[in-house]
């Protein structure tokens, strides 16, 4: 099975029954969010959105927690849940430095586009080209990047044939 990237969903949660406020980052996407999700109030900061890059999700959660704390005058924790085999498993509280470190660790293991280096959605795109068989084992974020890679190998071959 090919490696694939998860999506990270950011939501605001009020825990039951203690009313604790937390910004939750959950791996696996929106369907893995805890049931106490509030309707998004900080959409432009990334609330209610899915991120492929855990660093972007973490930075969004930090901003949302600060905004919410400012508006609500209550303590807001940030949690990040790991998804194991597609099942929501752990939901741990992180300090901001811990969260940044954890997100960076996760980001270092992302499947990235072999052309531009950006994290791919899911398992990315595979392409085949008779003109550039080299790309067969590569992963791309988009058709644009796949075409760039094909162009590169086609041009490279044309140049070496000229000599």
- CB distance 23 to 48 below 8 Å: no
SS3 category, 28: coil
Q: Does 149 bind Zn ion (CB under 5 A)?
A: no
150 touching Zn ion, by CB under 5 A: no
* Using rule CB under 5 A, residue 23 touches Zn ion: no
Q: Please work out the total of residues on this chain that contact Zn ion, with binding judged by CB under 5 A.
A: 5
Binding mask 57-96 for Zn ion (x = CB under 5 A): ----------------------------------------
Draw the binding track, 102-141, toward Zn ion (x: CB under 5 A; -: no contact).
-----------x-xx------------------------x
- Closer by beta carbon to Zn ion, 104 or else 143: 143
**Residues in Cβ contact with 15 at an 8 Å cutoff, skipping those fewer than 6 apart:** 21, 22, 36
Distance in angstroms (rounded) separating the CA atoms of residues 38 and 65:
13
Distance between CA atoms of residues 78 and 91, nearest Å: 10
Contact criterion met (CB below 8 Å) for 151 and 159: no
Residues in contact with Zn ion by CB under 5 A are 113, 115-116, 141, 145
């Amino acid at each position: 099975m090919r490696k694939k990237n998860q999506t990270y969903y950011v939501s605001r949660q009020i825990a039951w029954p203690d009313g604790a406020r937390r910004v939750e980052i959950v791996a696996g996407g929106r369907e893995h969010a805890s049931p106490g999700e509030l309707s998004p109030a900080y959409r432009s900061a990334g609330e209610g959105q899915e991120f492929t890059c855990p660093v972007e999700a973490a930075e969004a959660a930090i901003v949302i927690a600060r905004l919410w704390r400012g508006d609500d005058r209550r303590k807001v924790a940030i949690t990040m849940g790991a998804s194991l085999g597609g099942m929501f498993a752990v939901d741990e509280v992180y300090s901001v430095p811990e969260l940044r470190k954890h997100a960076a660790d996760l980001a270092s293991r992302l499947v990235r586009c072999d052309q531009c280096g950006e994290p791919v959605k899911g398992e990315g795109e595979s392409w085949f080209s008779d003109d550039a068989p080299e790309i067969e084992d590569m992963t791309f974020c988009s058709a644009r990047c796949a075409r760039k890679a094909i162009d590169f190998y086609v041009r490279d071959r044309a140049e070496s044939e000229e000599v």
